[in-house]
Homo-oligomer: A and B are copies of this chain.
Amino acid sequence: MQVEITNEFIQEVNEAAQRDDKQFVATKIAELHPADISEILKDLGEEGVKFILDNISPELGSEALADLDDDHLRKFLKVLPVSRVASFVNELESDDAADILQELPIRKREETLFALQDKEKVSHILDLLHYEEDSAGGLMAKELVKANINWTVKQSIEELRKQGERVEKIYAVYVVDDLGKLVGRVGLKNILLANDNTLIKDLYDPEIISVETYTDDKEVANTMRKYDLEALPVVNVQGQLLGRVTIDDVVDLIKEQAELERQIMAGISSNIEEDDNIWILSRARLPWLMIGMFGGLLGAQFIGLFEGDLMLIPAMAFFIPLITATGGNVGIQSSSIIVQSLANQNILNTGYLSRLGKVILVALVNGVILSLIVMLFNLVLGQSLMISSVVSIALFSVILLSSIMGTFTPLVLDRFGFNPALASGPFITTTNDLLGLGVYFLVAHFLLGL
């Protein structure tokens, strides 16, 4: 059942929480989709969250928790006692269970693991906790359905009956050999339509795409998107099947990475939403504004060196915004193309040198066109030939330099393990402002012979 969450409904929940109206949860919350319940939780205070999570069924509550982002999850787990956390964890597949355990302080984590009845689940979770969060191992669930290559369809269906209990969505049966090595897959459809006595050997598709536990999460996402997979098996270095990543987690990942990149490009330094409070919103913006501010103050000091020149030719000041804005625009354009290439991983077969050549050619085309237009305008508008030349030469140089900066900054950032999108944000505009000012005033100083 789909709902729209209104302010009035949130109000109702808060009132029900105040009078501890358990009936309210049973009638108004329990009928909702877990994804909607997690949306509601986000809009509630600590009391409201506790009220719902105390009174909801573990099945529903666990799914609602699994739908949350890490920040909210951590906050909500704080209000729950160990026994309650354990009852939620108990309902979840291993990947979501491990995500919850990951957000607990170490002592509460141990206590929760101890409180779990299902020892197989505990071992699954412990296994998953080893992997980095941003690797295939960190994304995978241990639950899946596998069949030995020598089985019949009938045996596989029996196994599926057993294993299937634990697996929410099956998609396919993975085929392994006697050593547990992944050798292929059979779609559920094919099993459904096959004869009971058919051998898996004669039915399975040996063309199977898999990743290793240490594969980077972005590569996992790219692989699943490129090959249109709804589940991707994960193997260890021996090729043994350990788990699988499902598309719902990857969809969330793609979305989160797009949001992260947008925030980085916009110079916002933490994951904020419009309905966060004013202090959080201000604080997330300040760091980059500060950096921009110091850049601006540095620029002021720099221009100050040319105070004498400015007194002689005030017209030089007129074109400061033109120069800095163009530098910023060119820099962001250049870097965003590289960020895109890096995201799509189709960058590998281009050498630095051939890339540099291309960047320079594109910059030359745009630089020539823009500086000629500006030259024309300035002359028509009555600036002197000298000033007009200085502006156009500086503009041309800035376009060239900013292109090169914008191209290589994200490559360098990526090489050193930073998010390359940083190079499309205030970082590059601040740097290029200074670069532009430097070029402009130096060109002016020497050309005008000041």
Contact = CB atoms under 8 A, between A and B. Distances in A.
Contacts of A295: 321-322, 325
A355 B273 CA distance: 13
A117 interface: no
Given A265-B336, A340-B273, A317 B317 contact: yes
Contacts of A292: 325-326, 329
A189 B170 contact: yes
Given A254-B251, A278-B361, A314-B311, A321 B296 contact: yes
Nearest to A268: B333
Interface in A241-268: 247-248, 250-252, 254-255, 257-259, 261-263, 265-268
Given A192-B160, A289-B326, A320-B321, A274 B314 contact: no
B230 A285 contact: no
Interface residues of A, number: 123
Counted per complex, copies of this chain come to: 2
Nearest to A38: B226
A375 B215 CA distance: 50
Given A285-B362, A325-B433, 18 more contacts: A67-B226, A160-B189, A160-B192, A169-B189, A188-B189, A254-B258, A258-B258, A267-B333, A273-B341, A274-B338, A281-B358, A282-B362, A285-B333, A289-B329, A297-B322, A299-B322, A321-B433, A324-B324
12 contacts: A6-B349, A35-B226, A170-B188, A263-B340, A266-B335, A267-B329, A272-B337, A274-B338, A290-B370, A292-B326, A301-B381, A317-B320
Interface of A: 1-2, 4-7, 33, 35, 39, 67, 157, 160-161, 164, 169-171, 187-189, 191-193, 207, 209, 223-228, 230, 247-248, 250-252, 254-255, 257-259, 261-263, 265-268, 272-275, 278-279, 281-282, 285-286, 288-290, 292-293, 295-297, 299-301, 303-304, 307, 310-311, 314-326, 328-330, 332-333, 335-341, 346-350, 355, 358, 361-362, 365-366, 369-370, 373-374, 377, 381, 424, 426, 429-430, 433, 437
